[in-house]
Amino acid sequence: MKFGSSILVTGIALFNAVRGDAVPWERLNKNDSMLLVLDLQVGLFQTARDWDPTLYRENILAHAELGKLFNLPVVMTTSAETGPNGPLPKEILEMYPDAPLIKRQGEVDAWDNAKFREAIKATGKKQIIIAGITTDVCTAFLALSLRAEGYSVFANIEASGTYSELVRDTANSRMQQAGVQLVSMFSIVCDLMRDWRNTPGAKEVLPYLDRYLPVYGFIARGHAAAIDNGTLIDGEAGLI
């Protein structure tokens, strides 16, 4: 029995090693990245039931604003927006009044739309940051198509949504097996920034995090308040 278990453990380790070698770790490079806003439409918003709706609204706006923060090329697309899916939120449209907006009339996988393919290729970028509604259809279908075309795909797991956690987890697993990088918003920000002393760096990134990731933004607020106040209360000095 122990011998059989050892074989199983060894087999799993080898399988994981092969998978790791098949898709080597890759860092985001702001000079070779673009941002994709995919079907984050007001009508589809209510299908993202794997998130608290108030939090999810902030997540999709945070995803969209990455383009402004890091000066990335942005391509937007919608699916049947004149029907129940509706348009993109006005906040996103106002961020990028001049960015390509491909209004697909029927294609489920955005890659099947010729104008969309042309818009992506026109950016000249090979790393694509993606998020959409729903995770299992809009995000996964396009992410897999992009991987098949040789692009590096970074799926913002906080800005895609679908109707159940089971469906989300299954879709994420499917994408990961195809070499899609599953990343958080904070991970994307830090990888694009690389160094707090860069530009964009602390001066530009901390206000963004204060808006969209208050658990980190309030660290900066606390530090700023302590420096501004300039005093210690009894018992604090021994803690640092």
Structure token pair of residue 84: 């129940």
Marked catalytic residue, from 62, 119, 128, 138: 138
Active site residue 138: yes
Distances (CA, A) of 143 to 69, 74, 86, 139, 224: 23, 16, 22, 6, 41
* H-type alpha helices, the chain: 2-22, 53-70, 90-95, 114-123, 140-148, 165-177, 185-193, 202-212, 214-229
Give how far the C-alpha of residue 47 lies from the chain's centroid of Cα atoms, to the nearest Å.
18
CA–CA separation, 175 vs 167, rounded Å? Answer: 12
CA–CA separation, 49 vs 56, rounded Å? Answer: 9
Contact 22, 179 (CB under 8 A): yes
- Positive or negative CA dihedral for 47, 216, 140, 96? positive
Q: Catalytic amino acids?
A: 138
